[in-house]
């Protein structure tokens, strides 16, 4: 599921995740890659399947801007920063493989937090 949001509401949405460790990514996608991007970065995509291997992964929320065309915000949530770092160490090859595989889906990827 993808939730639409107004840019002015983004900070409130982000604040709701402050109790856990969240990584926040902003994407400007290629218009012709929208469907694939939404799948791969959504609840049943490759990233979610990889992250779900960890019991300390709490989920992701993919948000689609209603004001900026082809713009999405992705919030990945973990129990704490150490859980995330451990996961990256243990899964760096698969993580990097997915990163390279999906670079063609977007024009800009920016880590916000």
CATH number of the domain enclosing 83 = 3.30.70.100
Burial letters 87-101, b for 16+ CB under 10 A, else e: beeebeeebeebeee
Number of domains in the chain: 1
Indicate whether 60 pLDDT > 70. yes
- Return d(Cα 20, Cα 56) in angstroms, integer: 10
74 versus 19: which is more confidently predicted? Answer: 74
Q: Which domain holds residue 87?
A: 2-111
Q: For residue 57, name the pLDDT band (cuts at 50, 70, 90).
A: very high
The pTM (predicted TM-score) of the whole model is 0.81
The DSSP letter of residue 113 is: -
């Amino acid at each position: 599921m993808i939730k639409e949001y107004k840019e002015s509401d983004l900070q409130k949405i982000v604040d709701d995740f402050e109790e856990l460790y969240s990584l926040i990514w902003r994407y400007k996608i290629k218009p012709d890659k929208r469907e694939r991007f939404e799948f791969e970065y959504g609840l049943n995509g490759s990233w979610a399947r990889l992250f779900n291997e960890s019991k300390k992964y709490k989920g992701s929320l993919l948000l689609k801007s209603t004001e900026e065309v082809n713009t999405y915000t992705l919030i990945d949530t973990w129990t704490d920063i150490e859980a995330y770092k451990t996961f990256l160490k243990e899964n760096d090859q698969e993580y990097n493989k997915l990163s390279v595989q999906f670079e063609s889906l977007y024009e800009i990827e920016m880590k916000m937090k």
